[in-house]
Amino acid sequence: MDLKKYLKFFGVRVVSKSFFLIAMVLVIRTLLLPESWGFGGESPPRVRYLEVPQIVWGLNNQKIAFARACLTARLLNRTLLMPSLSATLFYKEIHQLHPISFDKVFQFDKFNSLCKGFVQLGRFSDLQNRSDTLVVQKGSGRKWTVERDLDQLKELNTNEVETIQVVGKNPFLWHDHFPVKDYAKVFECLVLVDEISKEADKVVAKIKELGSESKMMNGYVAVHMRIEKDWMIHCKKREQRSNMSEICSSKYEIMSRVANIPGLKLPTVVYLAVADALVEDGSILNGWREGLVAVEKKKLGVLEIYKKHPYLIQAAIDYEVCSRADVFVGNSYSTFSSLLVLERSAKMARMGVVTACGIGMDVRWPSYAYNLKAMGESGPRPWMTTLTDSTLQAISYGSNNISC
């Protein structure tokens, strides 16, 4: 429709074509640039960015690395350019680490709205000048101490360049300068995209369906059972090196500790989060005490849901299933278990629960470490993350220090 006729219809008399055009330009300008209304307005401060290398390795290492990159951006007063995660789990050949965009796994806008005022993510398409970049190599080697690393970061706190690009090591290997509660804040802003959380919904629905068919309590216990060969070799070495005996747990030790969780309402479904090799084997389902109905992906009939996805997404689904469990039992030396307990502890803290260490305490979202025995009991030790710790070390490298 002709605009002139349109305006006339509403009683606006257009004096001349050029006056009309000038008026339209002003109107459009005002609509597009509300900040510059009045022409003398200040332009908004240019956003500054931090770029980090592709984030690699297991789901947990990737989550920690991502959070460390966020907290580094926060320290530098910069927006983190949305990094690539890795869909597959290759340790040696970097070119085989299939990059997967962060927003294919976690919700981008949700992250920015939940973390507003703390840390923000940006897109490469937001950059104004791609070449206005300072490339920074993080130091390495024994002489590169935590202090030197922090000094380097402080020197980088400059507003001059649009982008600071850190090259080299992945952020999981950077020195840590941040308290546990800051990591917890970043994790709180990570919400899975619908496509993945719906897959977790399906798995949880299957678990609950099984529970209600057998008239069980409408909840479930999740056990992150690390007994596969690779882990056993790794943890035995570790026990020898650190002269400790409470790192590895056999299948029987785990079964017995879980069976002795005080106050557990039976019967209940026990979801076993285990490596695929153990799912194929099937023998981990046998030997559980009466009232504990053990299932894994195969038994639940959800193997197909997992198999559709690459490694990272499979791990994210399992993580979500464990995170929603009424009771979680894991190994205090596993990063997967430790991150779960960190997030469950943060969730409890938000509900006002300060400690869940007492045996048989009636709290929501309790967690336990099966590799540690409860004091004077035969059950697993209650486990809560100390959210006031000044570094993430206890979680990244595993420990028996579980605050309970």
Q: Between 154 and 364, whose beta carbon lies closer to ligand NAG?
A: 154
At residue 218, the 3 state secondary structure works out as coil
Q: Between 96 and 129, whose beta carbon lies closer to ligand NAG?
A: 129
Q: Name the minimum Å distance from CB 255 to ligand NAG.
A: 26
Instruction: In whole angstroms, give the CA distance from residue 100 to residue 105.
Output: 8
Nearest to 282 by CA among 302, 297, 260: 297
Q: Between 48 and 257, whose beta carbon lies closer to ligand NAG?
A: 48
CA distances from 329 to 244, 265, 293, 325, 376 (A): 21, 15, 15, 10, 19
| C-beta neighbour count of 176 within 10 angstroms | 18
Angle, to 10 degrees, between the axis of helix 59-75 and the axis of helix 311-323?
A: 90
Q: Name the minimum Å distance from CB 135 to ligand NAG.
A: 12
237, amino acid identity: K
CA distances from 238 to 57, 108, 131, 189, 337 (A): 20, 38, 46, 34, 17
Q: Name the minimum Å distance from CB 401 to ligand NAG.
A: 16
Q: Which two tokens stand for residue 307?
A: 């198999």
Q: Between 246 and 326, whose beta carbon lies closer to ligand NAG?
A: 246
Q: Name the minimum Å distance from CB 246 to ligand NAG.
A: 11
Q: Name the minimum Å distance from CB 130 to ligand NAG.
A: 8
The residues of the shown chain that bind ligand NAG, judged by CB under 6 A, are: 45, 47-48, 77, 129, 131-132, 243
Instruction: In whole angstroms, give the CA distance from residue 183 to residue 152.
Output: 21
Q: Name the minimum Å distance from CB 391 to ligand NAG.
A: 24
Q: Between 78 and 226, whose beta carbon lies closer to ligand NAG?
A: 78
Q: Which two tokens stand for residue 197?
A: 């959380």
Q: Name the minimum Å distance from CB 193 to ligand NAG.
A: 27
Instruction: In whole angstroms, give the CA distance from residue 148 to residue 146.
Output: 6
Q: Between 30 and 77, whose beta carbon lies closer to ligand NAG?
A: 77
Q: Between 79 and 367, whose beta carbon lies closer to ligand NAG?
A: 79
CA distances from 226 to 231, 232, 233, 234, 329 (A): 7, 8, 11, 11, 11
Q: Between 119 and 222, whose beta carbon lies closer to ligand NAG?
A: 119
Q: DSSP letter string over 70-99?
A: HHHHHHTT-EEE--EEESS--SS-GGGS-E
